[in-house]
């Protein structure tokens, strides 16, 4: 089977070669599409993983056991600009620097590339301008 | 000495000759030209603020169904509106939540929908479900009523907020080890962030700090339409400490405001959900300040650097009512994105929208320039002493 997904690495495992294990121990093909580490040292990898069905399951179980969160890529965080009041309350909540107050315009900017889909902003935004879409 | 009257300013507005600038623009004008020259040139300075303001709500007249009904319980989209006023009148408060909301039973509660959201839906023209019940009387026999209604279906609807536009307000921080969910937003442990809610140099009550032009009947921008100051707000505390520039350094004056809900807009009345705290309403409010003399102009030239805001710990001092202020920081520091507390740099965030405040001041300026909005002279100005607030209703022997 073949699936595109987002992998979230907590700080504790960010330096472990987990993708290498996926390839070597679980016989999976890992095609990294996007990877970044935020200032809090949490990592996010968007990858296409393919291989035998059982290997695929076992590989994911292995990742989960190491504290890695996996989500299907279809899940995205959307900034509903029309609902955003540009208050900036989210800017101190977002751990990835994806929601930033731009000065001197005092307008908030959302950078989806930096978003690690932690979902903290969903309930932190008083105007509910942030949404999860699948 | 420059002297102007309200009538003279309105005459200039009528003739399309009034010079109107925003509370931001006036700062650089004064820097360049000085107080005297700017005062002789400028007639009106406009201000604005757009933030969550509790103590907001609306008086709604729901109209009579047939047969008639004396509604004793009223729900709009599941949110109760207080019905103990008359047969079909109700007051819908911004912070009311549905009885079915689990609130903080699942901490921190989400408070996704409340009175503020109902008000937003109404001004957005959406249908809301009216669910009313009654015990029935000879003159009002009907006992229950359920109908999808819009704001247009209501014969009368008036926004009436008893405390808005707080003159200076606390910066919330958290000295404890756990995250706090407050009306000042999410406060991360160990001084993780500092949250404020004011528009600083654009803020209405910081531009006329001694209320020389603000009082009963002052015409204002309210919720995207026109409103009026209807009284001083609850908790109006004019004797809070002030700097030499007259600007309070603690929460001080407040406004009660009123306006026809039907001419307001969803853009400037927004239901908000404060995680772990509750629901509220974000209100857009702007006040034009007539430059009657140089002193008033000088007040309006207040800049972010001149406004000192108290930093308060919301883990101990605020909830326990200890009244301790950790430090005072300037609004300029707050708006820069970080403040220094002791030896720690703390990121700041706002709950009110500076961009929104700026837009409101700009809109009000445009209305006046176009001759669509005139200034009103207040019947009396807001009390500047506790004597005036003290419910003796008199200032200098005159009954208010
Ligand atoms: S908290 Fe919500 S409304 Fe405020 S700036 Fe962020 S996204 Fe916009
Ligand atoms: S989900 Fe929200 S808070 Fe989390 S990284 Fe993305 S934008 Fe930031």
d(CA B336, CA A116): 26
Burial of B87 (0-12, 13-18, 19+ CB in 10 A): middle
Percent of chain B at pLDDT exceeding 70:
97
Contact at CB, A91 and B354, closer than 8 angstroms: no
User: Whose CA is closest to B186, among B105, B109, B115, B114?
Assistant: B109
Lowest mean pLDDT among A9-23, B102-116, B256-270, B342-356: A9-23
User: Which atom of ligand 1 sits closest to the CA of residue A79?
Assistant: 7
Among chain A residues, the shortest Cα distance to B338 is held by A92
Q: What integer is the mean pLDDT of B367-375? A: 98
Dihedrals phi, psi of B3, to nearest 5 degrees: -135, 135
Specify the 3-state DSSP secondary structure of B337.
coil
Contact at CB, B270 and A123, closer than 8 angstroms: no
Beta-sheet pairing, B344-350 with B338-341: antiparallel
Dihedrals phi, psi of B304, to nearest 5 degrees: -50, -35
Smallest Cβ–Cβ distance between A123 and the set B275, B337, B350 belongs to B275
CB–CB contacts below 8 A, A to B: 71
- Can you give the pTM of this predicted structure? 0.87
Please say whether the beta carbons of A130 and A121 come within 8 A. Answer: yes
Tell me, what's the pLDDT at B273?
Answer: 98
ipTM of the complex: 0.92
Among B1, B15, B139, B399, the one annotated catalytic: B139
For residues A19 and A6, state if they share a domain: yes
Q: How many CB atoms lie within 10 A of CB A133?
A: 8
Give ligand 1 pocket residues (Cβ under 6 A).
Answer: A 84-90, 99, 108, 125, 127, 129-130
Domain CATH for A103: 3.30.70.20
Tell me, what's the pLDDT at A31?
Answer: 84
Please provide the average confidence, as pLDDT, over all residues in chain B.
95
Tell me, what's the pLDDT at A134?
Answer: 64
Tell me, what's the pLDDT at A76?
Answer: 84
The number of folded domains in chain A is 2
Q: How far is the CA of A87 from the centre of ligand 1 (A)?
A: 5
B280 contacts in A (CB within 8 Å)?
Answer: 126
Tell me, what's the pLDDT at B393?
Answer: 53
CA distance B192 to chain A (A): 8
Q: How many CA atoms lie within 13 A of B130 on its CB side?
A: 26
Specify the 3-state DSSP secondary structure of B41.
helix
To the query of whether residue B54 is one of the catalytic residues in this protein, the response is no
State yes or no: pLDDT of B390 exceeds 70: no
For residues A92 and A68, state if they share a domain: no
Print the domain residue range for A57: 2-72
Contact at CB, B185 and A127, closer than 8 angstroms: no
Lowest mean pLDDT among B27-36, B40-49, B129-138, B383-392: B383-392
Q: Which of B195, B338, B352, B355 to mutate to test the interface with A (most CBs of A within 10 A)?
A: B355
For residues A54 and A98, state if they share a domain: no
pLDDT, tens only, A35-75: 877 777 888 888 888 899 999 999 999 999 988 988 877 67
Domain CATH for A19: 3.30.70.260
State yes or no: pLDDT of B172 exceeds 90: yes
Tell me, what's the pLDDT at B95?
Answer: 97
For residues A22 and A64, state if they share a domain: yes
């Amino acid at each position: 089977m073949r699936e595109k997904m987002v992998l979230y690495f907590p700080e504790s495992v960010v330096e472990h070669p987990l993708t290498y294990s996926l390839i070597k121990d679980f016989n999976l093909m890992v095609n990294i599409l996007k990877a970044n580490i935020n200032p809090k040292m949490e990592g996010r990898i968007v990858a296409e993983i393919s291989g035998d069905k059982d290997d695929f399951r076992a590989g994911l179980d292995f990742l989960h056991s190491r504290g890695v969160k996996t989500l299907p890529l279809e899940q995205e965080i959307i900034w509903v600009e029309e609902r955003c009041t540009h208050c900036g309350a989210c800017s101190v909540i977002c751990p990835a620097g994806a929601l930033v107050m731009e000065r001197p315009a005092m307008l908030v900017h959302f950078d989806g590339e930096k978003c690690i889909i932690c979902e903290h902003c969903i309930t932190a935004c008083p105007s509910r301008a942030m949404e999860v879409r699948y | 000495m420059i002297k102007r009257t309200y009538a003279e300013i309105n005459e200039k507005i009528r003739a399309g000759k009034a010079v109107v600038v925003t509370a931001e623009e006036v700062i650089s004008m004064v820097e360049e030209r000085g107080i005297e020259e700017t005062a002789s040139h400028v007639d009106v300075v406009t201000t604005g603020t757009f933030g969550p303001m509790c103590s907001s709500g609306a008086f709604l007249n729901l109209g009579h169904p047939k047969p008639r009904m004396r509604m004793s319980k009223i729900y709009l989209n599941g949110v109760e509106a207080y019905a103990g006023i008359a047969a079909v009148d109700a007051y819908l408060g911004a912070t009311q939540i549905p009885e079915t909301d689990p609130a903080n039973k699942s901490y921190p509660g989400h408070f996704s929908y409340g009175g503020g959201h109902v008000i937003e839906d109404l001004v957005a023209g959406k249908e809301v479900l009216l669910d009313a019940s009654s015990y029935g009387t000879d003159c009002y026999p009907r006992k229950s009523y359920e109908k999808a209604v819009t704001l247009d279906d209501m014969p009368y609807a008036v926004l009436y907020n008893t405390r808005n536009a707080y003159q200076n307000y606390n910066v919330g921080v958290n000295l404890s080890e756990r995250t706090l969910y407050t009306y000042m937003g999410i406060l991360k442990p160990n001084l993780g962030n500092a949250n404020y809610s004011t528009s600083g140099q654009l803020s209405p009550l910081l531009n006329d700090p001694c209320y020389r032009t603000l009082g009963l009947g002052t015409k204002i921008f309210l919720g995207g339409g026109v409103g009026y100051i209807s009284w001083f707000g609850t908790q109006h505390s004019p004797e809070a400490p002030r700097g030499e520039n007259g600007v309070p350094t603690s929460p001080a004056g407040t406004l009660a405001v009123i306006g026809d809900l039907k001419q307001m807009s969803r853009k400037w009345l927004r239901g908000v959900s404060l995680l772990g705290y509750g629901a509220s309403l974000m209100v857009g409010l702007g006040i034009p300040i007539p430059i009657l003399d140089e002193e008033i102009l000088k007040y309006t030239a207040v800049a972010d650097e001149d406004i000192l805001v108290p930093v308060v710990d919301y883990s101990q001092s605020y909830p326990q009512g200890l009244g301790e202020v950790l430090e005072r920081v300037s609004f300029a520091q707050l708006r820069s994105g970080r403040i220094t507390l002791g030896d720690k740099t703390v990121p700041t965030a706002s709950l009110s929208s500076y961009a929104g405040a700026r837009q409101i001041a700009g809109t009000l300026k445009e209305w006046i320039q176009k001759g669509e909005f005139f200034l009103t002279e207040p019947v009396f100005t807001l009390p500047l002493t506790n004597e005036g607030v003290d419910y003796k209703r008199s200032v200098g022997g005159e009954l208010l």
